[in-house]
Amino acid sequence: MLPDLSCIWELPTQHVRLESLVELAIVECPRLKSLFSVSLAQSLVLLEKLYISYCDELKQIVTELEGDEGEISSAINSHTSLCFPKLTKLNVISCDGLEYIFPMSLAPQELQGLTLSIGYCRQLKQVFRVANDSLLQHQQSWRSLSSFSIDDCPLLTDSVVHLEVEKASIKGVRLSAFKDSFKTSKQLQLCLIELIEDHNLVPEANEDGLNGVTSLRVRDCHDLECLVDTTTTATKNGPTSAFTHLETLFIADMLRLEALCKGQLPQGFLKNLKHLEVRCCYKLQVVDELLHDREENQEHPLSNLQSLILSGLPELRRIFKGSPHSFTLQSLKDVDISQCRNLKSLFSPSLIQSLVLLEELKIRGCDELVTLFADGEIESKTSSLPLRLPKLNTLCINMCSKLEYVVPITLAQGLPSLESLSVSSCDALKQVFGMPNEQDGVQHHGSLLLPSLRDLKLSWLRNLTSFVPQNYIVKAPSLKILDASGCSKVTSLPIQQANNQLELTLEGVGLSAFKELLCNTKDLILNNFGDHKNLVPDLVDMKHLDGLTSLSIDNWSGGECLVDISQAMMNFKCNDQSPMCFLQNLKILRVVSCGNFSKIFRMDDGIESNAHYLSNLEIMEIRGCSSLEYVFPHASVGVFSQLRNIVLGELRNLRGIVGGLNNFLEAPILEILNIQGCSGFTNFTFPKEVKKCVSLKELSFSMEDIDGEDVKSCNMINTELRQKSSDFEYIPLGTSKLLDLFNVIRLREVATNLRELTIHKCNNLTCIIPVMFIRNFPQLSFLTIKSCENLKQIIGTGDILASSSSSQGPHLEFPRLEQIVLENLSKLERFSPVGCHLEFLCLDLLIIERCSKLITSFSADYLTLIVHAKTDQASQLNDTSPSREAIFWRRIRPTLLPRYKEEAEEISPLSEKCCRNYS
């Protein structure tokens, strides 16, 4: 940015050479009037990129002295012209004084690889300056660029130089400014402002038909009525051909567009079109009217069309209209139609016969759509034709409020490849595969085979009553996913032969309509339903759930239990059978927000059974079930030999996992136990007689208030937890307020692999680890203790040490401890008992904040980087005013702690040096 620069080269430039200049950017030089003299421009033989922007007074890029032959005659003779042999990119933006880009002396053979971008040059009149007609004749045929883009240059109204570019983008400029240009262009993009009054591209912009264009994007050309006009009012003869190689056509926001062609179609018009997308063209009523006045004997213009996208066409009433044989869509693969509010039908039955390659059909937001595959005007003549869409694999319909059924049942056998079917928010839909109106009331029997259907989704169809007409059944042997949500009126969904690996999701529906599908379900997800008190036996027999491996239930307002064993046993006795296992293959159980849910299994007193319960259960999560007192009411449920993960949360009345006197949970490989917000929880134990070790890896408890209730003090885990194995890795203790964790923390024989210990807001704790158990923490790497308001020491003597015959020496080592964080411990006095000398061999981080009563001294050996901690008797007696400063020490800066001295020399708890360095 040089606001006062008016000239780059003030002295004569005949002998100045810029032969090595490759890239030049000139930005925000508002007083600059020109860049190069002719001789200087002649030397730019290596210039590749030139960027010019926001130079308001720039008149010329290369200075041409009209009427003065001085510099020009000396620099350019009859054999030499101005050229930029290496220039590949030129950007000119917001140069309001510039009237042209290239001077008339530019060599004709250059710029063939140039990408030229021009924008917001309000005075630009020419891209290539042309001085006289004789020169024009010489130059017309050679202005060839690689890419050309121009935007908002309103005075550029007439170009006498024809451009040939591979890719062109024109915005805010009259098309006539480039009349007869772009004959060989492959990609052409037009986006014009409202005031530019071009009514067609051919012949107004190009009389030769733009036959080289393969991709055309036209947007916001508000006055454009058609692409091609062959009527006598537009041209006497008209082009013989137009857009013969066009493959992709995108049209959007065209307020006056009525047709692609007015008059007789030129030869080969759109014969190679593969992709057609039309958006927001408000006058368009029928898509085939884009091809206006087409005669019967002409070739089908859309026979190669592969994808069709129509969106935001409020006046569109039909896609195709006319003779059944006027169109063939033999190449069409994808159709996406949205927001066409007056569209009443899609394809006539005769046209459907040509859709042999159609793979994907998506319809949404078409409020007046009544039927997909029929046209009312010709339905009576062609109703006997079979529907064949042999390649259709995806059918998706959304927000079509008047659609009563998707496909007529009599025509639905021709969908052998249909894999995904999704119908949602269609208020009038009563059946997915329905019966035409004239056949209503007639009794029909039959079956519908959908051999490839894998994914079926029915969402928020408030009037849907059945999948198919009465007395029909559906065979879907490949079905794997079925999701039915918000279809409260469904009474029948007779899908048989479903895959026995079915994932079934039901939300806000009556479960009775899906009884047959429950027998084939592997994963069952139930949300927001109220009927039935149990799943078994009210909904389904126990034997029909043998394949169930995952069950998730959310917001079951009427549910009291999963299995009513009392009723189930009676049913079995009536059949002279005895159940051996309940839900024997279930691996994942999740129950959330079921207020009346009080038991997984309901068993009346006096009923005994040798059956096993959930023998393969691996993961169990129960949250927000306020009526639940015990997860398993009796210890007779047996051993959970596969149970690895238990999550219990927001269960205000939960007293324990297992009820009864022998309330032991036998889960020998349990790894994760997470209990949060269970204010009534009283006990959890492992039985003494269990010989196998518990392999806990994560243990988390939080007994916070629920809805303001007081939390009862509980001794939750007894000393039998000492049987944990060496796999124990992680203990987070959550935000408990009145929780005695004495026997949780002071563990006998704690696992040797414990790496991380985090304690937060455990206000009844007075110490963490008895000194005699330090040897059980050889792998401890991270120690974090925060906001425990009654904690007085980290390592303490405690009752266990007092009752033990063994003793620890005064010298203790932590070989793996890397981080210690102690925060907001207002009563913490000592890290270790008086006289203990601690060594942290590889400590990397030590943070102590808001521990105002701490008298333990920390020091560092600057040579070995070992951190030492010691609480002396003298410190305890003499230090009546312990430091309130913080410690923040890193291994990379060992001098933040005082130097360790081996002699028994008193060390200040937090030396002035430590505090000074920390601050």
Q: What are the pLDDT digits (tens) for 12-44?
A: 666 677 889 999 999 999 999 988 888 888 888
- The dihedral sign for the CA sequence 84, 89, 95, 101: positive
Q: Does residue 877 have a pLDDT over 70?
A: no
Q: Residue 86: name the closest of 62, 108, 112, 52 by CA.
A: 112
What six digits make up the tokens of 765? Answer: 């704790």
Pair of tokens at residue 551: 């069950």
Residue among 652, 657, 694, 697 at smallest CA distance from 676: 652
DSSP 622: E
3-state class (DSSP) for residue 803: coil
pLDDT tens digits, one per residue of 180-198 = 778 778 999 988 755 456 7
Average pLDDT over residues 86-96: 94
Lowest mean pLDDT among 197-211, 537-551, 583-597, 721-735: 721-735
**Mean pLDDT along residues 714-739:** 34
Counting beta carbons within 10 angstroms of the beta carbon of residue 577, is it exposed (0 to 12), middle (13 to 18) or buried (19 or more)? exposed
Name the phi and psi angles at 885, rounded to 5.
-75, 165
Average pLDDT over residues 493-513: 85
- Token output for 830: 């000592």
**Least confident residue range of 310-314, 324-328, 706-710:** 706-710
Phi, psi (degrees; rounded to nearest 5) at 540: -150, 150
845 or 498, greater pLDDT: 845
Q: Which helix (H) or strand (E) holds 433?
A: strand 433-434
In this predicted model, what pLDDT tens digit does every residue of 39-85 receive, in sequence order? 888 888 899 999 999 999 999 898 875 444 344 444 444 345 567 88
Counting every residue written for the chain, the total comes to 919
- pLDDT score recorded for residue 875: 54
Please name the helix (run of DSSP H) or strand (run of DSSP E) that holds residue 573, with its range, or none: helix 565-574
First and final C-alpha spacing in the chain: 44
Q: Structural domain tally of the chain?
A: 2
Residue 849's H or E segment, with its range, is strand 845-849
Q: What is the pLDDT of residue 485?
A: 94
Residue 113 lies in a domain: yes
Rounded to whole angstroms, how far apart are CA atoms 213 and 247? 8
Task: Return the pLDDT at 109.
Answer: 58
- pLDDT tens digit sequence for 234-261: 555 556 888 999 999 999 998 888 888 8
pLDDT, residue 636, reads 60
Q: 60: exposed, middle or buried (C-beta count within 10 Å: 0-12, 13-18, 19+)?
A: middle
3 state SS of 138:
helix
Residue ranges with strand state E in 538-585: 550-556, 561-564, 581-582
pLDDT value of position 236: 58
Residue 101 lies in domain: 1-158
Instruction: Provide the pLDDT for residue 637.
Output: 65
SS3 letters across 728-772: CCEEEECCCCCCCCHHHHCCCCCCCCCCEEEEECCCCCCEEEEHH
The pLDDT value recorded for residue 318 is 78
Q: What is the mean pLDDT of residues 692-711?
A: 54
**CA 195 – CA 173 distance, rounded (Å):** 10
Interval 380-415: pLDDT, tens = 444 455 667 899 999 999 999 999 999 888 778 889
* Separation between Cα atoms, residue 808 and residue 772, nearest integer Å: 6
DSSP state of 634: S
106, 125, 158 - which closes a domain:
158
3-state secondary structure of 438: helix
Contacts of 134 (CB under 8 A, 6+ apart): none
Q: What percent of the chain has pLDDT over 70?
A: 71
Per-residue model confidence as pLDDT tens digits over 538-570: 777 666 777 899 999 999 988 888 888 776 555
Residue 100 lies in a domain: yes
For the record, the structure tokens of 733 come out as: 């203790």
Distance (Å, whole) CA 677 – CA 673 = 13
Instruction: Give the model's pLDDT for residue 680.
Output: 76
Average pLDDT rounded to a whole number, residues 523-543? 81
Residues 476, 122: Cα–Cα separation, whole Å: 66
Q: With bands split at pLDDT 50, 70 and 90, how would you rate the model's confidence at 139?
A: very low
348 found inside a domain: no
- Domain presence at residue 523: no
- 511 is a domain residue: no
- 242, HSE (Cβ side, Cα atoms, 13 Å): 26
- The predicted pLDDT at position 263 comes to 81
Q: How many CA atoms lie within 13 A of 445 on its CB side?
A: 0
**pLDDT band (50, 70, 90) for residue 902:** confident
pLDDT value, residue 115: 93
DSSP-derived letter for residue 113 is T
> For the purposes of burial, counting CB atoms within 10 Å of the CB of 467, is it exposed (0-12), middle (13-18) or buried (19 or more)?
buried
- Could you tell me the two tokens for 460? 């928020």
pLDDT of the residue at 571: 54
pLDDT band at 742 (very low <50, low <70, confident <90, very high): very low
The answer to which of 523-537, 668-682, 801-815 has the lowest mean pLDDT is 801-815
Average pLDDT of the residues in 586-615: 79
Q: What is the pLDDT of residue 379?
A: 44
Q: Is residue 427 part of a domain?
A: no
Which of 129, 158, 187 is the last residue before a domain boundary? Answer: 158
Q: Which of 128, 158, 188 is the last residue of a domain?
A: 158
**Has residue 597 been placed in a domain?**
no
pLDDT at position 752: 58
- Domain membership of residue 123 (yes or no) is yes
